[in-house]
Structure 1
Amino acid sequence: MKRITKGISNFLNTRLGFVILAVVLYTLKTIYAYETKFNLGVKGSIQTFLMIINPIPVMLLLFGISLYMKGRKSYIFLLIIDFLDTVWLFSNILYYREFSDFLTMVLIKGSGSVSNNLGKSILGILKPSDFLVFIDVIILILLLAFHVIKMDVKRLNWRIPVLISSLAVLLFGANLTLAESDRSQLLTRTFDNNYIVKYLGLNVFNVYDMVKTTQTNAVKSQAKSSDIDSIEKYMKDNYVQPNVEYTGVAKGKNVFIIHLESLQQFMIDYKWDGQEVTPNLNKIYHEDDTLSFDNFFNQVGQGKTADAELMLENSLFGLPEGSAMVTDGTTNTFQAAPAILDQEAGYTSASFHGDVPSFWNRDNAYKSWGYDYFFSSNYYKEKKSYNVGYGMKDKIFLRDSAQYIEQLPQPFYAKLITVTNHYPYTLDKKNQTIEKTDTGDKTVDGYVQTAHYLDQSIGEFMAWLKETGLDKNSMVVLYGDHYGISNNHKKAMSKLTGIKGFNEFNDAQYQRVPFMIHMDGLKGGINHTYGGEIDVLPTLLNLLGVDNKNMVQFGSDLLSSEHSQVVAFRNGNFVSPTVTKVGGTYYNTKTGKVDKKISKTEKEKLSNRVTTELSLSDRVINGDLLRFHKLPGFTTVNKKDYSYKKSTALKELKKARKKNGTSLLAQNDNKSMVDLYQTDAPELSSDK
């Protein structure tokens, strides 16, 4: 035994031994992270084996570089590489906890557009056990510092580092071959980053992501006009005839798009501690003149809110990595709702958001979409008590937006983006009017409080619309942009929903978000059609009497009998009234059980439809193909025609106050109706 111990000790005191030890420790801590910090969906012995060994080839290659160096430099280089790689792993753990995905180059490139107010979120996400991923670095440093392992400064035979590098390449080849045998076309046809990480490792995913990003950039520069032909053919072959009963019923009406931040459908009619969480939304949801959809799903990817906006106003899917608003919003050509309604029906368009204009690159993307006005934080009175997390508190934001809404020439298209119900769901005590839930999950338990606050703000806004008469000539669209509680909180969701063993299937079903279209005189009711955010634009255009037949839109009218009820998720999963796909598993949507009766042909038919639409949409964005699409009667938006400078906007609004102006203010003899807005926001009371 002593001989074995001495042999191991002697080996570890060589540079090669130190490299092997570093690889072993790194592999162990990576397995710990895979198992406890990520949700990779590892199933079966092959996937488990690959998850265990996939860190080895890359780290053997990286750490092995140190063997080409002399003396102390070799050890210092290895420790630096180990530390930097661990920082990247640590960063992914934090990001994954909230977004169930991994960091990408596109996301990092656009981080400046979303960095505002992130500190609070990071502190909310952080767990003490996260720092355990640094333990291998600490162990190696301590072993060297206390001379348990002595640095080997002897010259190493050149054959050893070459052999190690060759071994690393061979191991990776074997890893990839085995992975491909279990998951064919792993690197060429995947929409879920979890697959690449569980089969090949986080470091390989990083390389894959960089290569893919470079290829995407090259696609745009090499795109040509004929590339749009296949897209146009697909649109023509799959065109869905809209519901003629609803065609033009909202023609000439103002349109309010109210963005319900992070609100999930299960909050509708949900009670906690004997109290309705969303009483105002519940009332709207059940009114006879509201079209409500109880099977409406968010379909966002990494872009979250930005993806929701992109789908809602362009009927294009978000990208597999990052946010298209950030990476392509400034340069691409779009045919978005604001520009369409302006050119088709003379609408004024405006977006309202109580945060900095650069968030998600909105100040540039909105110009590409044809928004006339963008009322960001620059337009509102700023005060520390007015803000929470990602911008102004909803009650204050909506109340202060009224001053600009009344100045907009009618008809107008106005989008209001609420933010209070945003992770990490914190609200000061004076605004809390419902108790927290008791799941024991700090991330989740504040959700009902911020959702209740959001609902109160909507109630106040709707009351103002009624007081001013805007409710009579407006269509109000309310939608949840994405999930509020990610699938990393299954225990809490199990307690909130009453579903024992809340699993991947349940999580897919709970991607439902509210979608309501409310208008005086509208033939409403609760519609059980399956659909998602990609379908909103075609639905609204039909209601407004705008023909979308020649447009490139991947959604279809939710009210049409021809509407496909297969709802694609960004990662290639989908849900329909009969089948739900999560990873490689197909479930019966009605029973929640694994569907063993579904044929291979049916699986391929459904999956191919989803992957085809996602791929075609990606081609449109990555290649900027709408610059080649000639839409009859539509003029390409010139971004230079738009300015969101406050002085410029106020000057334009002042012009609209003329005697025969169409704004609410002009129609009321230029007497403001903001004083009709009633809010119980305690911050405003204290100001008075």
Structure 2
Amino acid sequence: MTIAGVKNNKNKVLGKIFNLLFNNIDIVIFCIIVYIKLMSYEKDISTGYLDHSVIFPIAASILILASFSFLFKGKNRISFLYIADIVLSIMLIADLMYYRYFKDITTVAAIRNAKLLQGVSSSVGSVASVKDLYYVVDLFVLLPLTRIYKKRRNNVISLPKRLVSFIIVLAVGVGINACAFYRVSKEQPTLLTAMSNRIYLTNMIGNINFHLVDSYNYISNSIKNSKELPEERLKAIKTFLQENNKTTEENNFKGIGEGKNLIVIQVEALQGFVINQKVNGQEITPNLNRWVNKSMYFDNYFYQVAGGNTSDAEFMSNNSLYPAQSGAAYYTYSGNKYDSLASSLKDKNYYTAALHGNSEGFWNRNVMYKAQSFDDFFGEHSFNVDEKIGLGLSDKSFLNQSLEKMKSFKQPYYSFLVTLTSHFPYEAVDKYGDFNVGEYEGTFIGNYLKAIHYTDEQLGQFLDNLEKEGIMQNSIIALYGDHFAIPKDNAQQLFKFENESSSDDYTWFKYQKVPLLLHFPGDEYAGVNHKYTCQMDLYPTLANMYNLPRQYMFGKDMLNGDSQKVIFRNGSFIDGENLYVSWSNSYYDLKSGAKVKETEELKKEKDEYTKELGYSDDLLNHNLINEFSQKEQK
């Protein structure tokens, strides 16, 4: 062959390569842009070192998505890729906003609960960031380019060639994904199905794969939950509940509350770090500090909320059941039967009432309070909305009007009150901003300190009035915070406020506590209890104090026994000596904060706690309290 012929062949090969690239430049650009977005997202949600092996499943998921574009003809293919880019960009921004607020990943069940987020648009807006525009800027740049490319791209690839390209690219993507999923299944055998640790899972398989797995599990679980559980599984759940609800040999405070009123106050966003703390020389919560000294105070009381946030705190405190695996139990399981605190007290001839200054349908409360056997629910329409702050009736007006209602309640009664004004994003600041927070003025944490200072003042007046009216003489009061006030996205402000030099997972967990005060008549039993406890433990503790039966509780009595178990919905846990952080799969010594290597004992403990979460899920998914109680009646 002549030199001219070689050059001619070389030019032909280069021409074919050029034509191949030009005819597929839309797919190449799509893959590069989506890859950059997905990796940026992974870095945004990564709490520590990013495992770069996630590159492979991310690339695989992009190939799988891009493979479907080969099924479309020229111009339609470009439209498909552009629309896919739009959908992915919106999904990533939504996921980031959800992560900043809930410290979790969006799921199908959470999307089903989207209607429950009406009225919190201001909260959603507060977690939005200008940086999020990064995920959509390419859409504006590419729009004119796609139009130009559509005009110049004339070659139409035949259907057989498109099918071959589709199959090859899809097979490569599926193959890489299979390897990634196998790796996860070996490291964390139940993670892909239980999804108990969604952040860690997303950091291992990428965002697109996570949503595919979540959708598959949602559909699979819906089908599975429509079928009866095997008898062996039912027996295992019942055995666990029987063992967990055995009374200990100790009988501290047994029946001490019988015949007394029970007043439970759930305070919006009351986080533990503000108690006995000052800012600019002033006490942040002077009234609660005063009542802490008159009460039994638990300073290691952890919140355990998940996707249901405030409603999860209510759910756990009144039922001692774990939050829903995904979404909100208040919505998903509103048709279930419950052996709730209100139900048990009603059986002892108590009048039971829930009071809250927001709309009755918010978090599906109008349905769930009935399901939990409350005699009455006093929501927004039961109050004179004479002062509105943020989402609803101000705490000042709500607590004053609630007291008037409680005066007319038939005794003994159980009153469950949920405050509202200190709700994120802390709009109480607008009307009650006279609390001087010094250098924190205008910051996220500064606004929170002002908001909780306002709520503290209203709680102080309410508690003082209960005392003046003589109600406290025949009442036990439980007051606790529902969940975090400072989201992970603002963790650095919290660490700075607390003069923390470290910002690791152990330091973060140190501040995921909420106050719990148990007040007894005559300020009896005042003191600090340092035991590790949680929201799941409130009902079992009150059940012992009010001599109520214990059958379906996953928590433990805080005043009896030596359990210091705290299990979080994401799979993290505390056992009294160690902290396990699920999203980084790491252990810490609770006293020193030093990292601890996983032992066989710790691994066994982790497996047992994962199994416990599964038992609670099965109990909710299959309405087992109803099934078990029916069998007992026969």
Could you say whether these structures have the same fold, taking a TM-score greater than 0.5 normalized by the shorter chain as the test? yes
SS at match of 2:478: strand
Measured in 1, the distance between the counterparts of 2:251 and 2:630 equals: 22
- Aligned residue for 1:368? 371
- Aligned residue for 2:175? 170
- Aligned residue for 1:161? 166
1:230 CA displacement: 2.1
Distance 1:482 1:439, change over 3 A: same
- Aligned residue for 1:460? 461
Measured in 1, the distance between the counterparts of 2:193 and 2:67 equals: 29
Pairing 1:415–2:422 present:
no
- Aligned residue for 1:666? none
Measured in 2, the distance between the counterparts of 1:614 and 1:441 equals: 41
Residue by residue, what CA displacement relative to the aligned partner does 1:505-531 show, whole Å, maximum 9, x if unpaired? 111121111011102143231111111
Among 220, 233, 236, the residue aligned to 2:239: 233
- Aligned residue for 2:276? 269
TM-score, normalised relative to structure 2: 0.92
Contact 1:354 1:397 in 2 (8 A): yes
Measured in 1, the distance between the counterparts of 2:325 and 2:14 equals: 50
1:438 CA displacement: 3.6
Letter in 1 for 2:123: S
Residue by residue, what CA displacement relative to the aligned partner does 1:447-482 show, whole Å, maximum 9, x if unpaired? 101110110010111122122111111111101111
Distance 1:626 1:69, change over 3 A: same
SS at match of 2:99: helix
- Aligned residue for 1:99? 102
Contact 2:538 2:557 in 1 (8 A): yes
Contact 1:72 1:153 in 2 (8 A): no
Residue by residue, what CA displacement relative to the aligned partner does 1:244-303 show, whole Å, maximum 9, x if unpaired? 23111121111111011111111110101111111111111112xx21111111111111
Mean CA deviation greater in 146-155 or 440-449: 146-155
Task: Mark the runs of 5 or more structure 1 residues left unpaired by the alignment.
Answer: 636-688
Residue by residue, what CA displacement relative to the aligned partner does 1:72-91 show, whole Å, maximum 9, x if unpaired? 11111111111112111111
Pairing 1:342–2:342 present:
no
- Aligned residue for 2:32? 24
- Aligned residue for 1:251? 258
Distance 1:22 1:378, change over 3 A: same
Measured in 2, the distance between the counterparts of 1:190 and 1:42 equals: 21
Letter in 2 for 1:449: K
- Aligned residue for 1:484? 485
SS at match of 1:259: strand
Task: Mark the runs of 5 or more structure 2 residues left unpaired by the alignment.
Answer: 1-10
1:361 CA displacement: 0.9
- Aligned residue for 2:396? 395
SS at match of 1:499: coil
1:309 CA displacement: 0.9
Letter in 1 for 2:107: T
Letter in 2 for 1:603: L
Pairing 1:110–2:117 present:
no
Among 331, 339, 352, the residue aligned to 2:355: 352
Letter in 1 for 2:340: A
Measured in 2, the distance between the counterparts of 1:341 and 1:216 equals: 34
SS at match of 1:244: coil
Pairing 1:533–2:560 present:
no
Measured in 2, the distance between the counterparts of 1:490 and 1:441 equals: 16
Q: Which is richer in helix?
A: 2
Letter in 1 for 2:392: G
1:180 CA displacement: 4.0
SS at match of 1:489: helix
TM-score, normalised relative to structure 1: 0.85
Contact 2:567 2:573 in 1 (8 A): yes
1:497 CA displacement: 1.0
- Aligned residue for 1:140? 142
Q: RMSD value over aligned CA atoms?
A: 2.5
1:151 CA displacement: 3.1
Contact 2:184 2:192 in 1 (8 A): no
- Aligned residue for 1:510? 511
Among 48, 65, 69, the residue aligned to 1:62: 65
Distance 1:410 1:78, change over 3 A: same
Contact 2:354 2:415 in 1 (8 A): yes
Residue by residue, what CA displacement relative to the aligned partner does 1:116-175 show, whole Å, maximum 9, x if unpaired? 322211221111110111133334324324559943542242322222222222222233
Aligned pairs, number: 615
- Aligned residue for 2:552? 552
Contact 1:440 1:492 in 2 (8 A): no
SS at match of 1:630: helix
Contact 1:268 1:281 in 2 (8 A): yes
SS at match of 1:396: helix
Measured in 2, the distance between the counterparts of 1:172 and 1:160 equals: 18
Distance 1:209 1:326, change over 3 A: same
Measured in 1, the distance between the counterparts of 2:484 and 2:95 equals: 20
Measured in 2, the distance between the counterparts of 1:441 and 1:96 equals: 23
SS at match of 1:479: strand
Contact 1:219 1:622 in 2 (8 A): no
Letter in 2 for 1:553: M
How do 1:372-391 residues align onto structure 2 when only pairs under 5 Å count? 372-383=375-386, 386-391=387-392
Contact 1:474 1:519 in 2 (8 A): yes
Among 528, 541, 544, the residue aligned to 1:542: 544
Among 319, 322, 332, the residue aligned to 2:336: 332
Letter in 2 for 1:109: R
- Aligned residue for 2:87? 84
Letter in 2 for 1:212: N
SS at match of 1:188: helix
Measured in 2, the distance between the counterparts of 1:424 and 1:391 equals: 13
Residue by residue, what CA displacement relative to the aligned partner does 1:492-511 show, whole Å, maximum 9, x if unpaired? 11111111122211111211
Distance 1:193 1:542, change over 3 A: same
Measured in 2, the distance between the counterparts of 1:395 and 1:209 equals: 42
Distance 1:53 1:5, change over 3 A: farther
Letter in 1 for 2:25: G
1:196 CA displacement: 2.0
Distance 1:13 1:235, change over 3 A: same
Letter in 2 for 1:26: V
- Aligned residue for 1:48? 52
Distance 1:456 1:218, change over 3 A: same
